[in-house]
Amino acid sequence: MHRERTLHLIDTQSGGDVSRIVTAGVEPLQGTTVLEKARYLQREGDGLRRLLLSEPYGDPAMSVDLIVEPSHPEAQAGYIIMEAMGYPLYSGSNTICTATALLSSGMIPMVEGTQSVVLESPAGLARVTAHNQGGRVRSITTQGEPAYVADEGLSVDVPRYGRVEFDLVWSGAYYALIDAARYGFTIDRESQIALTAFGDAFVRAARPGLREEHPELGHVGPLPFAHFMGPVQQIGEGRYESPSATYVHPGVLCRSPTGTGTSARLALMARRGQIAEGESLETISPRGNRFVGTVLEDTQVGEFGALHSTITGGAKLLAHSQITVDLDDPLVDASDLEHVLVAQAPVPPEAY
């Protein structure tokens, strides 16, 4: 007999980055909090991530967000983020896509006008404000965990590129922030291949010896992201814009400016006195897509001074689908997949 399973998906995109929202077909995961569930999935069920981000089912440039039951009483749903680099604890674009999918599908009932939604990510609560009009989600503003500058003035020798200086910032994961122009790069569509090659060489060289611990979340793994910063231009009172590009290891350059990359930029700019509370930075990806980050109040994460901020963007629905997973297909590695998939295709769940 064929061993077949069914997954229910809502495909979305925010700023050009595609997020596949898994709404049903996965067994309840071990763990109480979303962080515990994510770490169980990473340890025992990584076949799901590999399946949906690899041919023939997907593409490494996508992200996957698995809807799970939350543990926090304020949260209406939980979500686990999966990318080529692994399991980021928070992501702005994935939060925008997940909130849009939950509201558009009715898993969280949509309210016309401004609506508050609370989601539980592995990093903690994401407080979302949705702006809905005519039964559609027009934009999402999300506040995730605070960002902080962990180390400044670092440098590493990168083969073929020489000595590269960077700052290390936490914003849902560790980011290496690099001044792109200093190394001869502009941030535009024509530079994407060159930036990807630079990012790959840089991350491989920079990883040894860098921090892999978060004061509250524990071990978070090796450096996954390099964020390339373009020049900052003032476009109004307290409003700035800047070209930006985020490299995701291995081998992916984000289509969007990335929400957590934008939050990392804000934390570094605030540390340098270049932006203040209430002011905003609009980041522009190599493909011309935009997110707006707004500075909120200061806070503390362990021994680090940190910064709260919000990211505003929008997401579009691409597809509602059911995919069949043939566990006997030699292209499917079922060794750490079969036990996390529901044996019978379920009906998509109602709101938690």
Q: What is the pLDDT of residues 307-351, one digit of tens each?
A: 999 999 999 999 999 999 999 999 999 999 999 999 864 455 554
- Specify whether the CB–CB gap between 232 and 244 falls below 8 A: no
What does DSSP say about strands 304-313 and 136-143: parallel, antiparallel, or unpaired? antiparallel
List active site positions.
Answer: 91
Q: What mean pLDDT comes out for the span 205-213?
A: 96
What does DSSP say about strands 239-248 and 233-236: parallel, antiparallel, or unpaired? antiparallel
> What architecture is the 4-144+316-340 domain classified under in CATH?
Roll (3.10)
By the 10 Å C-beta count (0-12 exposed, 13-18 middle, 19+ buried), 54 is classed as: middle
Residue 144 pLDDT class (50, 70, 90 cuts) = confident
Contacts of 58 (CB under 8 A, 6+ apart): 20, 51, 52, 64
Q: What mean pLDDT comes out for the span 268-295?
A: 97
CA separation, residue 167 to residues 151, 200, 295, 308 (Å): 6, 17, 19, 19
Query: What residue spans in the chain does CATH classification 3.10.310.10 cover?
Result: 4-144+316-340, 147-312
- Specify whether the CB–CB gap between 107 and 78 falls below 8 A: no
**Would you state the pLDDT for residue 347?**
54
**Would you state the pLDDT for residue 168?**
98
Domain covering 147-312 assigned CATH 3.90.1300.10 in the classification: no
User: Which stretches of 211-277 are DSSP H helices?
Assistant: 259-271
The radius of gyration of the chain's CA atoms, rounded to the nearest angstrom, is 20
* Residues 297-329: b if buried by 16+ CB within 10 A, e if exposed: eeeebeebebbbbbbbbbbebeeeeebebeeee
**Would you state the pLDDT for residue 146?**
96
pLDDT tens, 237-279? 999 999 999 999 999 999 999 999 999 999 999 999 999 999 9
Contacts of 323 (CB under 8 A, 6+ apart): 6, 7, 9, 57
pLDDT tens, 153-199? 999 999 999 999 999 999 999 999 999 999 999 999 999 999 999 99
Contacts of 147 (CB under 8 A, 6+ apart): 169, 170, 171, 172, 260, 263, 264, 266, 267, 306, 307, 309
**Would you state the pLDDT for residue 218?**
94
Cα-based angle 208, 209, 211 (whole degrees, multiple of 5): 115
pLDDT tens, 12-54? 999 999 999 999 999 999 999 999 999 999 999 999 999 999 9
